[in-house]
A and B are shown apart, each in its own frame.
Chain A
Amino acid sequence: MTLMHKFLGATAALALSAGAALAEPALIFDLGGKFDKSFNEAAFNGATRWAEETGNSFRDIELQSEAQREQALRRFAESGANPIVMTGFAFGDALGQVASDYPDTDFVIIDMVVDAPNVRSVVFNEHEGSYLVGMLAAKASQSGTVGFIGGMDIPLIRKFACGYAQGVKAVNPDATVIANMTGTTPAAWNDPVKGSELTKAQISQGADVVYAAAGGTGVGVLQTAADEDILSIGVDSNQNHLHPGKVLTSMLKRVDNAVFDAMSDGPGMEKGFNVMGLANGGVGYAMDENNADLVSADMQAAVDAAADKIASGDLAVHDYTSDDSCPALSF
């Protein structure tokens, strides 16, 4: 194991010593990889946008194994990269150990809270974005029954479901929301076969719009929805293109904005808790040419009006994780 660590360390050192200039920002991708069409790719896009707009450059690394997390953090910190941005809750433990060793370096962690004076923790108000797509689902549904398929049954995913159900009920108080979770183990994130079966089960109960917040399982949900000719809603990044004309919209988590902001603020940025909600462009819903025919102008107007109200604080969407209960849906 020690030998393995030495090898990994050496590889990381080789990979990182290639970079040069001081105080460049650095970006560390999680195991999903830079081009995962989702979370990590959104982070990469944000960094690229920053680089193009400012003419500066940034450094990045794709992790290949769990053991590299701390190594990569330390190497970047020691080579003077600042700030260091990392995507994904899985960095929580590693950063908790590393952050205090480099008090002059700023760290940004996305989707996780690490309590240290030099860390900015970015979290998203997923329930607000889910509320908006819930409204769209209720407006697009003919049957008055819509579905939700979550990945692993954890509070974060219930937060998605709860926001969604509230959005549905806001448009149609009589609507039925069928919510299913794929499982209770991490395997639930990558079980498209079960995602398919859940979708078919929801269709047989009358659902004609299904929202998937289930990682790789969602691929199966969107596929089955397209095969069975009902609408689906994607998550995290814009998934409308996966099945043009069949994906109603996608709940966007603007990881790219979070990364862009972090890099723009640069060293000496504001630390602490950073909530990305509707008010600061952290979440939203996706509109492009693939779903233009599915979302009518007045659907969009109604949703945008609600978005403005949520952003200004006139409309409060209940956050499941605040009290572990949901007014619109029982699990």
Chain B
Amino acid sequence: MDFLTLIQLLDSTVRLATPLLLACLAGLFSERAGIFDIGLEGKMLAAAFFSAAIAALTGSVWIGLLAGITASMLFSLLHGLASITFRGNQLISGVAINFLAAGLTVLIAQDWFSQGGRTPSLMGGARFEPITLPFAEAFGSVPFIGPIYQELISGHSILVYLAFAMVPLTWWILFRTRFGLRLRAVGENPAAVDTAGVSVVGLRYAAVMICGVLCGIAGAYLSTALQAGFVKDMSAGRGFIALAALIFAKWRPWYALYATLLFGLFGALETRPDVIEALFGIKVQGALLGALPYVMTVIILAGFVGKAIPPRAGGEPYVKER
């Protein structure tokens, strides 16, 4: 495998890891506050549809992005209502959101555009274009570092840089601010937070809404940056892989970055069977690589490689008076 192929592979890794990373961080906020969220997939899908649809109608991708985030936050609100206010089962609420999003998006797409559950192709300003970072052209001729900067670091859409910036930001919010401390506490021991006079319900809603925003960006990235339009079920299980990455990362922001990059690399390798063959000398089925994230998560959960301990109050609705 030559250097250029490696760069292309890593470039593909970054593109594939970005929606996973955003969704994974979204899940991180929610689950750290004690609200399990398996509706990441549904929220991404809803955001993917609404951002593409509104971008197609208005011609502006930024309005589309806002619409996607709004749609995703509405689903988050629904999840919050069901699991925080009405103390329902968080898993069931998440499943319901996934089904609701899968059905609603196609139904509305068919009603608005009559194209078999698709949106029209987005053109020009209705789409996030790749950004060329300064001096990318000039640096390109520098050996080794040049191609890395020009091909790998430059030339992604702005949402990619946003996603990567979210990692230190998430770490800082969770581990260096008062809000973050309380948020983590609410996922470990909500009664203690309540005793301290801080609203458990308010904190959990805040976490769920942040989750909505991040899922919204992830969905918008799928349909307006990676693609130029919505196709039914286009999230294709990425929400679940993000969830697997979250467990793999043991609910920590930096590990989330590494986990999603690793899963992204599996995805990128899946598209290059020739590289695998050249590296290992055997033909590997693509499906095997596709299954690896889940296999590794099971291994982690089984406790073979360290322990993955979820937030202690996760999945339990908080009841104030006992």
A and B associate in one complex: yes
Q: Which residues of A contact B (CB under 8 A)?
A: 32-33, 35-38, 40-41, 153, 178, 180-181, 183-184, 187, 190-194, 196-198, 200-201, 204-205, 216-217, 219-220, 223, 242-243
| Residues of the A chain whose Cβ atoms lie less than 8 Å from the Cβ of B15 | 197
Q: Could you give 19 example pairs across A and B, Cβ below 8 Å?
A: A32-B116, A35-B116, A37-B118, A153-B287, A180-B271, A183-B286, A190-B232, A190-B234, A191-B236, A193-B19, A193-B226, A194-B271, A198-B271, A201-B12, A201-B268, A219-B227, A219-B231, A220-B227, A242-B121
- B115–A196 CB distance below 8 A: no
Give the shortest distance, in Å, between A222 (CB) and chain B (any CB). 9
Cα(A192)–Cα(B237), bound, Å: 13
| Residues of the B chain whose Cβ atoms lie less than 8 Å from the Cβ of A35 | 114-116
- A190–B231 CB distance below 8 A: yes
Known contacts being A196-B227, A201-B271, A219-B231, is A181 close to B286, with CB within 8 Å? yes
Within 8 A of A (CB), among B281-312: 286-287, 290
Give the shortest distance, in Å, between B239 (CB) and chain A (any CB). 12
Cα(A249)–Cα(B121), bound, Å: 19
- B237–A187 CB distance below 8 A: yes
| Residues of the A chain whose Cβ atoms lie less than 8 Å from the Cβ of B4 | 204
Cα(A267)–Cα(B5), bound, Å: 60
- A193–B227 CB distance below 8 A: yes
State which of B16, B231, B233 has its C-beta within 8 Å of the C-beta of A197: B16
- B287–A190 CB distance below 8 A: no
A196 and chain B: residue at smallest CB distance: B226
Cα(A217)–Cα(B232), bound, Å: 10
Q: B8 interface residue, CB < 8 Å from A?
A: yes
Give the shortest distance, in Å, between B121 (CB) and chain A (any CB). 7
Q: Which residues of B contact A (CB under 8 A)?
A: 4-5, 8, 12, 15-16, 19, 110, 114-118, 121, 222, 226-229, 231-234, 236-237, 267-268, 271-274, 286-287, 290
Give the shortest distance, in Å, between A238 (CB) and chain B (any CB). 15
Known: A40-B116, A193-B227, A223-B229. 9 other contacts (CB 8 A): A36-B116, A183-B286, A187-B236, A192-B231, A192-B234, A197-B12, A197-B16, A217-B231, A223-B121
Give the shortest distance, in Å, between A226 (CB) and chain B (any CB). 9
Cα(A35)–Cα(B12), bound, Å: 34
B4 and chain A: residue at smallest CB distance: A204
Cα(A205)–Cα(B275), bound, Å: 10
| Residues of the A chain whose Cβ atoms lie less than 8 Å from the Cβ of B114 | 35
Cα(A204)–Cα(B234), bound, Å: 24
| Residues of the A chain whose Cβ atoms lie less than 8 Å from the Cβ of B121 | 223, 242-243
Cα(A196)–Cα(B226), bound, Å: 8
| Residues of the A chain whose Cβ atoms lie less than 8 Å from the Cβ of B236 | 187, 190-191, 193-194
- B272–A216 CB distance below 8 A: no
- B8–A216 CB distance below 8 A: no
- B233–A190 CB distance below 8 A: yes
| Residues of the B chain whose Cβ atoms lie less than 8 Å from the Cβ of A196 | 226-227
Cα(A331)–Cα(B300), bound, Å: 33
| Residues of the A chain whose Cβ atoms lie less than 8 Å from the Cβ of B268 | 197, 201
Give the shortest distance, in Å, between B109 (CB) and chain A (any CB). 10
| Residues of the B chain whose Cβ atoms lie less than 8 Å from the Cβ of A204 | 4-5, 8
State which of B116, B117, B287 has its C-beta within 8 Å of the C-beta of A184: B287
- A197–B267 CB distance below 8 A: yes
| Residues of the B chain whose Cβ atoms lie less than 8 Å from the Cβ of A192 | 227, 231, 234
Task: Name the 10 nearest CB pairs between A and B, nearest first.
Answer: A36-B116, A201-B271, A216-B231, A191-B236, A190-B233, A184-B287, A204-B8, A35-B114, A187-B236, A198-B271
Cα(A198)–Cα(B268), bound, Å: 9
State which of B12, B222, B232, B290 has its C-beta within 8 Å of the C-beta of A200: B12
B222 and chain A: residue at smallest CB distance: A193
| Residues of the A chain whose Cβ atoms lie less than 8 Å from the Cβ of B273 | 180
Known contacts being A194-B267, A204-B8, is A33 close to B233, with CB within 8 Å? no
| Residues of the A chain whose Cβ atoms lie less than 8 Å from the Cβ of B237 | 187
A186 and chain B: residue at smallest CB distance: B233
| Residues of the B chain whose Cβ atoms lie less than 8 Å from the Cβ of A242 | 121
Give the shortest distance, in Å, between B288 (CB) and chain A (any CB). 10
